[in-house]
A and B are shown apart, each in its own frame.
Chain A
């Protein structure tokens, strides 16, 4: 498919969705829902909060498509919206006590992920965690991450460096 002049790869779909084309909106959603859910899950550490973040984020993003610059990439834009929503949810749900898996086992149908890593990630400061998730989990470039978060590329590098150091420390603590 040839993109319209001046439009990003998803820009044409966005333009059609803005004009009321439901199939274009649906295709956009299908393209991005898995990746943004993964980001939301990595931010929150909880599938149910990731579900909420994605649903809320999609509603907000697709209800505000006219604010999207079609010359730019859509993925960082919608990921930022969902990640911001995930951060606000996880802040609200801040726990008052440390999670004790012995006393409170995960649901029997929890995801088959490395829960030790998930738990360690949620202990990293939010501004570093977001950068780590966008760079490592989602796979955005430093430029895309900087654009999505509205920060300098140098800040992306420094937060990633510190975030990974925090992650290593958290994993060591968890293991010991």
Chain B
């Protein structure tokens, strides 16, 4: 026996469906994953090699305690040498605070607003962040298919939209609350990378030292747990501590 609630429930989702972009993306992922599984050694266990990369990000309360090996002005990411040069020449990336955390994470309330990056329809936050970070560390450029757009409202990292999703260029990996410290991305490597290579690339990821372009392209980004208040439409305000006072001269 069905009742009104059941009917409404059934009707509510009867017309709902994924976008064409999502269908295409899911098909691609399915084929890639199945092919990769078929290529692997028989019954080989997939090894997950996750590396917490650039320090300087805070989780919860506490101080930025990163072991910094960069000189001031050097990107604190494991970019290729060519990418580092390109970042320095880029009008936007050269001032992106998430790339320059050598002296500790900066407060999202204290950094200048930057343009946002508009992605093609159907792009998810995970895909957008991954595309941005990989493009920056491999080539020092913004990802193909993305365009600069007006800044997002203060505190917003990701604007959800099926037609025009946008990512904040100041803090694309979000920020910790309540300090508002801008988070650095977390990187990972696929399990099939040989152990010596994984160790070597992992060290470069931790230290932020230059890596080759082929190695940079192996890197994937693990998306952070973005708070609901850091997305549009926003369902909750982000309550942040006041930014630290500027030192008196």
Contact = CB atoms under 8 A, between A and B. Distances in A.
A114 B8 contact: yes
B69 interface: no
Contact of A93 (B8, B16, B31, B228): B228
A106 interface: yes
Nearest to A96: B236
A171 interface: yes
A130 to B, nearest CB: 14
Interface in B220-249: 225-226, 228-229, 233-237
A117 B15 contact: no
A18 B38 contact: yes
A121 B9 contact: yes
Interface centre among B11, B13, B46, B237 (most CB of A within 10 A): B13
Contacts of A95: 228, 235-236
B11 A114 contact: yes
B6 A164 contact: yes
Contacts of B193: none
Nearest to A170: B5
B29 interface: yes
A25 B40 CA distance: 16
Interface stretch (A4-12, A34-42, A140-148): A34-42
Contacts of B17: 34, 37-38
Contact of B228 (A60, A96, A111): A96
Interface in A122-146: 132, 136-137
A26 B6 contact: no
Interface stretch (A44-52, A69-77, A149-157): A44-52
Interface string B126-166: 11000000000000000000000000000000001111000
A62 B236 CA distance: 36
Contacts of A34: 17-18, 23
A132 B10 CA distance: 10
A1 interface: no
B160 A113 contact: no
A96 B124 CA distance: 22
Nearest to B25: A55
A48 B164 CA distance: 12
A38 B161 contact: no
A54 B22 contact: yes
Contacts of B228: 93-96
A64 B229 CA distance: 35
B125 interface: yes
B41 interface: no
A51 B9 CA distance: 20
Contacts of B122: 51
A63 B18 contact: no
B27 interface: yes
B18 A137 contact: no
A95 B226 CA distance: 11
Contacts of B161: 107-109
Interface in B1-50: 3, 5-6, 8-13, 15-19, 22-23, 25-27, 29-39, 43, 46
A107 B23 contact: no
A42 B234 contact: no
Leading 9 A-B pairs by shortest Cβ distance: A20-B38, A29-B30, A25-B34, A63-B33, A114-B12, A62-B33, A117-B12, A37-B18, A97-B236
8 contacts: A25-B34, A26-B30, A37-B18, A58-B33, A97-B237, A113-B13, A164-B6, A167-B9
